[in-house]
Amino acid sequence: MNISLRDILLFLINHNTFTSVKELAEIFSVSTRTIYSSLKSIDEFLVSQDMKPLERVKGKGLRCLCTNEEKREILRLLQQDQILYLSPEERRNRISIYVLTQNTYSTIDEISNILKVSRNTVITDIAYIKEWMKDFSLNLETYPYKGLCIVGKEINIRKALLKILLEEGNTLKSSVIVLGNLLSKDGIQSLEDFIDLLEVRLRTPISDISYYHIRLSFAIALSRMQKGCFIDEHWEQLIIEDSREYKALCSLKDRFDKQFNISIPKDELIYLSSQLISSSTQGAKDQDGIFHNWIYMQLNLRKFILAVEKDLQVELIEDNELFQGLLMHIRPAYYRILNGLSFENPILTQIKEQFSHIHKSVIKNLHLIESRLNISFTEEEASFLTMYFAAAVERKNRENKKIPTAAIVCTTGTSTSQILLSQLTNRFQINIVGAFSSRNIDKLVKREALDLIITTVDIEAEGVEIIKVNPILSQEDIANLSCVLNNISSKFNIKRIINIIKKYGNISDETGLAEELAKYLQPHYKNEKKHLERRKEPMLIEILNENLVEVNADVKTREEAIIKSGTLLYKNDLVEERYIQAMLDNLEEHGTYIVIAPGIAMPHARPENGVKDIGISIVTLKNPVVFGHKTNDPVRIVIGLCAIDHQTHLAALTELVNILKDESCIEGILNADSSEEIINIIKEVK
């Protein structure tokens, strides 16, 4: 209980008469709002001690109804400094943490003594906690003569613990206390050193909030393992074993075991890797290995972007920054959702207000991603995706705007004009040609292609907009300038452009030129439909021919199979020779995620590794080859892929994926004796 609450409580138990809220506010020199809040906390405390809340009588005020014995008990606790007041929510969290971290039965008397509250209060809280734990598929069972015990899977116990402890440790000070309840001081330091080493191995900086999540989830896991509580099952094991996080943890396992005097089993390494993935980011170079079904993920992401694009009527699919950003964010978000974690977006309300149309479109179309991943995004997670789209829309809008050109007119001297110049350039995106006197205004307008004159005095000039401001910009000046500049930057002055052209040549048809310029310089979003119609993404049959197909290739290893597919791309001048080695390096670094379906592998590398044009090659193998994939081996068909960007190849890839889903097509491709037969099979698919 803090000092102010203690003082108010002492005052009330020592005064038997009624006291008004206003009088209390004057006595303690605080606002009435603070008094109301304090009285609510005092009521909750009294009830937790099985005492009556404060009595309130309209027109009189309030007073304490405690008996003399109860008052003596409160005074005794205050004198011994034993009261730690907790709100009902805080108290329930403490009880939940206690029972979740125990490896034996817990009794109501134990909890009552620890929290200094009555048995009745604990019993009421237990009923609430039982309902809450059902959300984690956990049961808080009561056993006669033994006490309370958690029944449920270990992974769900950790999810519940992580949820509560994240709320408990939302400040630096409280996070230290939370960790101290799980590990010793030396253990916390060893854990932090280990995470720092992991960060170096992963070559990815970990943000502060991610660092806290990782540290806490690892501390929970270590604490549980030290008590003999291990995870014996996990989801998504296959892809986690292929992740760089899992490989980094495995490389440091011996050090981890030694530091914490424990032998960590494989299932626990997989669990820790999933926690690490939940809080980490993925570099653009690693984006293909995000999921074992990476092709479908990219195709569904393309559908998602196109759906939002259609709603907003802004061309977004060609924005590589958007595509990569979404892809890299979805990976940790996916594992956060599976782990029961949540990242709060501190500007969720502003996003919903400022970008409501974008956010609504994201929510509406998010099922295209959720269906592929078999998860449901929270609105918090969806709001992060909204931010990526909002940034992309802003980038697109900037493409369609010109930077306004302005001149300053000031009669009070160079120092004043420099102050104004500094304010303008710091606040606005604007090109200022200089500061001039008012007497030369006509010459200035003729000489410079100005959009605006910003002046501190009254002036007149034809053919250019004028706005008067104070030498030190007021809030009203800033608002007016923002409005004017936004209007100018969203349109082009055709007359100004024609005047510039006239300086360097004759114009035979000024009206016709003005019309052509007007059509060309229309803000891009107004002609969005035309741009969407003009977008060219080649179909499969446009990029695949007999020269890119080889049947019954006689290879012995996966490396030979990859080289075969890459060589076809190289011989058809679609890639440089170094691309073949990059395909092999990709397999070595990221594992067998390229084996996309039973019997089918799709080796590839990034565009910067020597891609000249979009291309696909198909190689059928005479004998199946083991690639090392746990479920999709052995491989019979190898499809080489090279792409120039993130999206141009996706239309062709969509067709190919649909073909690969058709068992009769796969059978036909495997039985084909010539490249022509395979091309004909592809042509016949509608």
Cis peptide before 634 (omega within 30 of 0): yes
Alpha-carbon span 345 to 124, nearest angstrom: 33
**Which is nearest to 579 in space by CA: 558, 556, 555, 563?**
563
Q: CA angle, 577 as apex, 576 and 581 as ends, to 5°? A: 120
Alpha-carbon span 199 to 211, nearest angstrom: 10
Alpha-carbon span 518 to 96, nearest angstrom: 67
Alpha-carbon span 336 to 345, nearest angstrom: 14
Q: DSSP readout, 120-166?
A: HHHHHHHHHHHHHHGGGT-EEEEETTTEEEEES-HHHHHHHHHHHHH
What are the helix and strand counts (H, E) for the chain?
Answer: 33, 13
With H, G, I as helix, E, B as strand and everything else as coil, classify residue 345.
coil
With H, G, I as helix, E, B as strand and everything else as coil, classify residue 674.
coil
Alpha-carbon span 463 to 495, nearest angstrom: 9
Dihedral angle computed from the Cα positions of residues 335, 340, 344 and 350, in that order, rounded to the nearest 10 degrees:
80
**Which is nearest to 453 in space by CA: 475, 429, 469?**
469
Q: Max CA-CA distance within the chain?
A: 105
- How many angstroms separate the Cα of 151 from the Cα of each of 318, 340, 410, 606? 51, 18, 78, 48
Could you tell me the sign of the dihedral formed by the alpha carbons of 499, 505, 511, 516, in that order?
negative
- Residue 491, Cβ density class (10 Å: 0-12 exposed, 13-18 middle, ≥19 buried): middle
Q: Which two tokens stand for residue 206?
A: 């970990």
**Cα radius of gyration rounded to whole Å, the chain:** 34
Alpha-carbon span 613 to 573, nearest angstrom: 8
CB-CB neighbours of 481 under 10 Å: 21
**Which is nearest to 234 in space by CA: 222, 223, 246, 226?**
246
Alpha-carbon span 33 to 25, nearest angstrom: 9
Alpha-carbon span 439 to 452, nearest angstrom: 17
- How many angstroms separate the Cα of 439 from the Cα of each of 122, 409, 445? 84, 9, 12
Alpha-carbon span 191 to 194, nearest angstrom: 5
Are 451 and 488 within 8 A, CB to CB? yes
- Residue 406, Cβ density class (10 Å: 0-12 exposed, 13-18 middle, ≥19 buried): buried
Q: Spot the catalytic one: 292, 359, 604, 646.
A: 604
Secondary structure of 198-241 as H, E, C letters: HHHHHCCCCCHHHHHHHHHHHHHHHHHHHCCCCCCCCCCHHHHH
Are 301 and 376 within 8 A, CB to CB? no
Reply yes or no on whether 604 is catalytic. Answer: yes
Which are the catalytic amino acids?
604
